Chains A and B, each alone.
Chain A
Amino acid sequence: MSFPLCTDLEEPLVNPPSDPTTPSETEISRRTFVKAASLLSAAAVTGIPHLASAEDMQAAAATAPHTMDLTLKVNGKSYSLVALDTRTSLLDALREHLDLTGSKKGCDHGQCGACTVLVDGHRVNSCLTLAAVVNGAEITTIEGLAHGDTLSPIQEAFLEHDAFQCGYCTPGQICSATALLEEHKHNTLSTVSFETGNLTAPELTDNEIRERMSGNICRCAAYPNIVAAVRAVAKGARA
């Protein structure tokens, strides 16, 4: 018996983008848009009470566009998204619009870390990040960590230490660990640093690694091997 490829499996399993927007909600005539936009910008310049009544402002809110054009720079490549629903999260933009399905949707509430990506070098939960907010920012996903066929040190270490079982949380774990090592170079603190009293240049002990990786949940509980993988790269980096 042969198993379908992950990529084949993924397509039908993927949820449709949350809140599909009906055309009637997004189709705004140019005239209404200009009227709403000029009301808003006029108000911004001169002060609302003088120029626009509360009713006008309500009307402006009701007709303001719910879509926008934006540019996402992902793994060094620029993508233009036209008339994107403002509700679109960075995660959905990556997966549903750019076909970058490496970042995973676990909880969609910022509780599991499967969606972790780097924005301007900082790890964030892409499920709670609106695409509109990162318009123009530099985004790195799991697809952007390797150089061609050469895996990044953390990717190598995850293989070496068998730091996963089902693999669903792994892209988030690897993005998170990549940022962790970078943060550590800048001597950032964690709550564990206060307990050890090493507040100048905290050493990456196992407890420090566990605390700093606590935003990435692994349902298969590969935690000991994840810690081992991060520890191995941290030791190598310091050597």
Chain B
Amino acid sequence: MNPFSYQRPANPNAAIHAVSVHGAKFLGGGTNLVDLMRSGVENPTTLIDVNHLHLTEVTRAANGVTTLGASVRNTDLANHEIIRTHYPLLSQALLSGATTQLRNMATTAGNLLQRTRCYYFMDTAFPACNKRNPGSGCAAIEGFNRIHAILGASESCIATNPSDMNVALAALNATIHVEGPGGKRTIAFQDFHLLPGSTPHIETSLRPGELITAVELPPAKFAKNSWYLKVRDRQSYAFALVSVAAGLELEGNTIKSAGLALGGVALKPWRSLDAEKSLIGATPNTEAFKKAADLALAGAKPREHNAFKIELAKQSIVRALTLAAKGAQA
């Protein structure tokens, strides 16, 4: 690990100023960043500890809009009464990721910025990685790519986003609040994570020096009918091969609105607006869910070792929507 200096600012403004030092990075829970620093993937000169900026509240306004502070620990968020009651999909997704130890450390903003678990990115012994060394190539495309992307990938990068929380936030249509040298602004969740294209080293639409302060959720629609399904090689403490966040708003026996996003299939949480639209007005049954699954996987492109993900994703969507419709957690 390279030497770095450490600062603990007391408010967002001080943090934004501090991070403009060359090579400085924000430090949240450190579960991902410290690990990557130890393996030499990340080499910050300065760590700006953003755990003391008073961004630890979860609040719900009278109109139902809910705000999640950037530094709320994943454990606290998953178990918060507001989230358990109104957004169980988010609780379930958060609790599907990592372990209690790691969730006790990880923060909302840090989870948003988790970096890929592509083996070739994580291990500096592989010289080719367009994320680590732009222009060096992608070792995964011709390598062992069982865990890699089937949607939205490019010839520069086929990595996936590892977060479970992000998949639920995509289905819940969240908005991200940021503050930076240019002031405050909001970013729609769909626009936050970027597809790789020819610049896979640029992972989000954050501008230099911008600090995530909160995540906002619209009034809850899926509190009674949602499910997060995570399929992985072992039952606990593993990243998703495929995951599905499914939410249904039911009116009698008709779907009034739907939220559907996939994890483990693309470099961003893969929300399918086409699939969501196809569900509106439909009766919640296997036929409608299969149609949505086909639409969500339209354009999927497998690599040598991950063709199984297409069928796995489709079946997972049908299962997650079925469990959501049952209101298993109501």
A, B bound: yes
Chain A: residues with CB nearer than 8 A to chain B? Answer: 18-19, 21, 25, 40, 43-45, 47-49, 54, 57-58, 60-62, 64-66, 68, 85-87, 89, 108-110, 113, 116, 122-125, 128-130, 132-133, 176, 179-180, 183, 186, 188-191, 193-194, 197, 199, 210-212, 214-215
Contact B101 A197 (CB under 8 A): no
Contact B105 A124 (CB under 8 A): yes
> Which residues of B1-28 are within 8 A (CB) of A?
1, 3-9, 13-14, 17-18, 20-24, 27
Contact B95 A61 (CB under 8 A): no
Interface size band for B: 35 or more
Contact A188 B38 (CB under 8 A): no
Query: Is the C-beta of B236 less than 8 angstroms from some C-beta in chain A?
Result: yes
Does more than half of chain A's interface fall in helix, strand or loop, or is it mixed? mixed
Contact A87 B101 (CB under 8 A): no
Does more than half of chain B's interface fall in helix, strand or loop, or is it mixed? mixed
A110 to B30, CA, bound (A): 10
> 6 closest A-B pairs (Cβ-Cβ)?
A215-B99, A64-B5, A214-B236, A66-B3, A58-B22, A122-B104
A68 to B18, CA, bound (A): 17
> Nearest chain A CB to B236's CB is how many angstroms away?
4
Q: Give the residues in chain A near B96, CB-CB below 8 Å.
A: 191
Chain B, residue nearest A46 (CB): B17
> Nearest chain B CB to A33's CB is how many angstroms away?
10
| Count of CB-CB pairs between chains A and B under 8 Å | 143
A64 to B5, CA, bound (A): 6
A65 to B7, CA, bound (A): 10
> Nearest chain A CB to B95's CB is how many angstroms away?
5
> Nearest chain B CB to A225's CB is how many angstroms away?
19
Q: Give the residues in chain A near B9, CB-CB below 8 Å.
A: 44
Query: Is the C-beta of B84 less than 8 angstroms from some C-beta in chain A?
Result: yes
A67 to B130, CA, bound (A): 33
Contact A85 B3 (CB under 8 A): yes
> Nearest chain B CB to A121's CB is how many angstroms away?
10
Contact A86 B6 (CB under 8 A): yes
> Which residues of B76-134 are within 8 A (CB) of A?
78-79, 84, 88, 91-92, 95-96, 98-102, 104-105
Query: Is the C-beta of B34 less than 8 angstroms from some C-beta in chain A?
Result: yes
Q: Give the residues in chain A near B21, CB-CB below 8 Å.
A: 40, 57-58, 60-61, 64
Using known A-B contacts A188-B79, A197-B329, determine if residue A129 contacts B22 with beta carbons closer than 8 Å: no
Chain A, residue nearest B34 (CB): A128
Using known A-B contacts A40-B21, A189-B84, determine if residue A86 contacts B31 with beta carbons closer than 8 Å: no
Contact B5 A43 (CB under 8 A): no
Can you name 26 A-B pairs with beta carbons within 8 Å?
A43-B17, A43-B18, A44-B18, A48-B20, A57-B20, A61-B5, A61-B22, A61-B46, A65-B5, A110-B31, A124-B101, A125-B101, A128-B34, A128-B105, A129-B34, A132-B49, A189-B78, A189-B91, A191-B230, A191-B236, A194-B92, A194-B228, A194-B328, A194-B329, A199-B84, A215-B99
Query: Is the C-beta of B308 less than 8 angstroms from some C-beta in chain A?
Result: no
Chain A, residue nearest B49 (CB): A133
Contact B105 A214 (CB under 8 A): no
Given contacts A43-B17, A189-B79, list 9 more A-B pairs with CB under 8 A. A40-B18, A45-B17, A86-B5, A122-B75, A128-B34, A130-B34, A132-B6, A197-B328, A211-B236
